[in-house]
Amino acid sequence: MENFNPNDICVPNGNYFALPFDTDNGELILISAPWDVTTSYRAGTAKAPDAILDASLQVDLYDYDFGKIYEKGIATHPFDEDMLSESKKARVHAEKVISRLEIGLSSKDWTIAKPLEHINESCEKMNKTIYETAKSYLDKGKKVALVGGDHSTPYGLIKATAEKYGEIAILHIDAHADLRKAYEGFTYSHASIMYNVVNDVKELTQLTQVGIRDFCEDEKNIIDTNDKITTFFDRDIHNNLFEGETWEKICKKICDTLPKNIYISLDIDGLSPEYCTNTGTPVPGGLSYNELVYLLVFLKKSGKNIIGFDLVEVSQIDENSVDANIGARLLYKLSLLCLEQ
C-alpha cells in the first residue's frame, strides 16, 4: 500500500479495482469464471469478468458505509484463458442441443445425447477447477469470491466453502428459483445451481431466496416441501411494500432466516432489468439498486459474517450499457462485506 494513493488516477494492473494486493497478502481473493455454456436465452456472460474488471477502475475506493476497509486487501486470482476457450467450444455444442430440443427432439436422440455428454463433462471440469482453486485459498485462511460467468459457475466455490466451514447458509438473490433438475439436459445448467447445491452439498443448512419471480411448478413444489428453503417471492415483497410495510422490516425478516455465517449468491437479474439490460434472462419486477445495497449493509450491520459470495449473469453485449458498471459497484460492496471490520 506504500506507494498507493487511492485519491489518484487509477493505473490498471490486471486486478479488480486496480488494488495493489496479490494472492499472498490479500484477505479476500476474487476468482474470475469466464464461462457461459448453458445460458438458455441470450449468451454473453462469459465476457463479464473482463467487462467488470474494466468498469471496476471507475469505482471510488473510499466507501460511504465502510470507509477505508479496502486496505484489508482485495486480490485477484490470475485470469483463466483456458476456461474461456473451453467455454466457447462447449457453447457451440450447447447451441446445437438447444436448437434441436426446440424443434421437439428428445434429449435421448443420438444427435443430442452425444454433445450433451461432452457438455456435461466440460461443466464438471470447470466445477473441479473452481473447487480446487477456491480450496487452495480457503486452506490458507483467505476468503474467496467468484465473478461469473453464468450461474452454474459458483458450484465448486460453494462446495469448497461449505467444507471449510462445516456448514453453509446461502442468501440467493435472483429473479429465478434455479431449482430445475438438469434443465435442457444440462446437469450443471445455470437454471439448476440451487437444485444441485440443495442435493449435493450436505453441509447446507439454509437457503434463503429473495426477489424470485420466475419459476415452474416443480420448483414451487420444492420450495413448499423442503424445510431448508425459505423464499421471499418478488410479488410478496412488493405487495407488502405497496401496503405500507417498510423495506427495513422485510430485510429484518430475511436476516432472521439466516445464521451468523452466510454465503451470498447474487444473480444480477434479481435486480430490476433497468440495472442489467444485457443479462441473459431478464424478468420485469425485482429489486432496485438501493434496495439491494440496503439489504447487504443491513446484513453486515446485523452482525452477519459473509464467508464468501458470487456475482453472476452480468453481461455487457452492448458496450455502452451500464451493466458492467453496476456489476463492478456491487462486486465492490460485496467484497467490502467480506472483509473484517
Binding region for Mn ion (CB under 5 A) = 174-176, 267, 269
Least distance between Mn ion and beta carbon 151 (Å): 6
Output the smallest distance, CB 297 to Mn ion, in A.
23
Taking the least distance from each CB to Mn ion, the nearer of 77 and 190 is 190
Least Cβ distance, residue 312 to Mn ion (angstroms): 8
Asked whether 229 and 207 are in contact (CB, 8 A), the reply is yes
Which of 80, 174 has the CB closer to Mn ion? 174
| Cell numbers at 93, concatenated | 455444442
Smaller CB distance to Mn ion: residue 82 or 274? Answer: 274
Q: Are 210 and 282 in contact (CB under 8 A)?
A: no
Nearest to 145 by CA among 335, 277, 341, 339: 335
With CB atoms as reference, the residue minimizing the distance to Mn ion is 176
d(CA 72, CA 295): 23
112 or 229: CB nearest Mn ion: 229
Residue placing its CB nearer to Mn ion in the complex, 122 or 315: 315
- Name the residue nearer to Mn ion (CB basis): 21 or 232: 232
Q: Least distance from C-beta 313 to Mn ion, angstroms?
A: 6
Nearer to Mn ion, 267 or 310 (CB): 267
- Mark 158-170 as b/e (b = at least 16 C-beta within 10 Å): bbbbbbbbeebbb
Q: How far is the CB of 175 from Mn ion (least distance, A)?
A: 5
C-alpha cell, 16: 479488480
The Cα 119–Cα 140 span in angstroms is 32
Residue 274 makes CB contacts below 8 A (sequence gap 6+) with none
Q: Count Cβ atoms below 10 Å from residue 140 Cβ, excluding itself.
A: 11
Least CB distance to Mn ion at residue 243 (A): 27
198 class by beta-carbon count within 10 Å (0-12 exposed, 13-18 middle, 19+ buried):
middle
Contact status, residue 153 vs residue 189, Cβ threshold 8 Å: no
Report in angstroms how near the CB of residue 176 gets to Mn ion at its nearest. 4
Closest CA to 29 of 146, 160, 123, 179: 146
**Exposure string over 239-258, b if 16+ CB within 10 A, otherwise e:** ebeeeeeebeebbeebbebb
CB of 193 to Mn ion, least distance (A): 9
Classify 18 as helix, strand or coil.
Answer: helix
Separation CA 334–CA 154 (nearest Å) = 15
Cis ω before 44 (30° cut-off from 0): no
Nearer to Mn ion, 86 or 313 (CB): 313
Q: Which residue number, 254 or 276, has a Cβ lying nearer to Mn ion?
A: 276
Q: In whole angstroms, what is the distance from residue 132 CA to residue 311 CA?
A: 19
Contact between 178 and 172 under an 8 Å Cβ cutoff? The reply is: yes
